[in-house]
Amino acid sequence: MCTTCGCSTGELKIEGESAGPVRRRPMKALDAASVAYHFRKPRQAAGVAPAPDPGQGRLVQIEQDILSKNNLYAAENRRQFAAQQILALNLLSSPGSGKTTLLTATIVALRERISIAVIEGDQQTSNDADRIRATGAAAIQINTGRGCHLDASMIETALARLAPQEKSIVMIENVGNLVCPAAFDLGEAHKVVVLSVTEGEDKPLKYPDMFAAADLMLLNKSDLLPHLDFDVGACIAAAARVNPRLEILLISARTGEGLPAFTAWIEARAAAMAMP
């Protein structure tokens, strides 16, 4: 796992910066309730045995230290989002699931009704941020180098430069990876996992931590179903076995199938953020 393999210590680049470590400001003191919220045990996938303990106390301590530090930054991000009534969504998937295409279609569908800003995470290039900016939405690119996920301190730094509007939406497109991003809270309100029908219907069982952590699964590229041997029912059953509370939408960024249901899901949660 990345909390012990060292990938999270690699260099990172945020937009126009020269490559290199980003200086982090000291954490503010957080109230006990905020800290307690983030130090709870990760949600365990239903019916799935926990990963075996590596049996090395030092490695376990390192992982705990990394996640604990991350959770403090996540709590501060969440506090900032709440203060500005911003709905933050963390989009997760394996590479090639169609996250960016789906995100651009979502922005186009919502941009007349609500402001959306995007934080893009990739190991290299600004290709996805450029695609987002072409829709008229503000976007900032984080290149993680060897890192396989975004962490909460990266989001804090990006937010300071992105300066999203109050009562808006911040979409965080995480690095394509169905493993490590599940462990890192970014301060988001919801994790949304995107699974393409070009992948296996047993993905939720193979990568249970990701699907257990998510609130919504988007089963994407539904327009390709007539050309594939993909069992939608089996996929939904696998996801429900891992996470019985997971909401699931069948969707296609290309044809628009399911997109109104997704935008309605977003708007309902944005409205809840704005309630006193």
Domains and CATH numbers, the chain: 55-274 (3.40.50.300)
In this prediction, residue 15 carries a pLDDT of 74
Query: Which are the contacts of 36, defined by CB distance < 8 A and separation ≥ 6?
Result: none
Beta bridge partners of 92: 193
For residues 26-48, average pLDDT: 42
Is residue 217 scored above 80 in pLDDT? Answer: yes
* Helix 99-110 / helix 259-274 crossing angle, nearest 10 deg: 60
Is residue 27 scored above 80 in pLDDT? Answer: no
Phi first, then psi, for residue 182 (nearest 5°) are -65, -25
Is residue 62 scored above 80 in pLDDT? Answer: no
- pTM of the entire structure? 0.82
In this prediction, residue 7 carries a pLDDT of 64
Contact 212, 238 (CB under 8 A): no
pLDDT band at 28 (very low <50, low <70, confident <90, very high): very low
Is residue 43 scored above 80 in pLDDT? Answer: no
**Mean per-residue pLDDT of the chain:** 85
Other CB atoms within 10 A of residue 169 CB: 25
Is residue 120 scored above 50 in pLDDT? Answer: yes
191 to 93, 134, 184, 245: CA distances (angstroms) = 10, 25, 11, 13
In this prediction, residue 142 carries a pLDDT of 96
For residues 23-33, average pLDDT: 41
pLDDT band at 146 (very low <50, low <70, confident <90, very high): confident
For residues 99-103, average pLDDT: 97
Contact 203, 122 (CB under 8 A): no
- pLDDT tens for 182-203 read 999 999 999 999 999 999 999 9
pLDDT band at 247 (very low <50, low <70, confident <90, very high): very high
pLDDT band at 67 (very low <50, low <70, confident <90, very high): confident
CA 143 to chain centre: 15
In this prediction, residue 137 carries a pLDDT of 97
For residues 23-31, average pLDDT: 43
Cα dihedral 61/64/69/74 (nearest 10):
170
* Beta strand 216-220 pairing with 138-143: unpaired
* 3-state DSSP assignment of residue 45: coil
* 3-state DSSP assignment of residue 96: coil
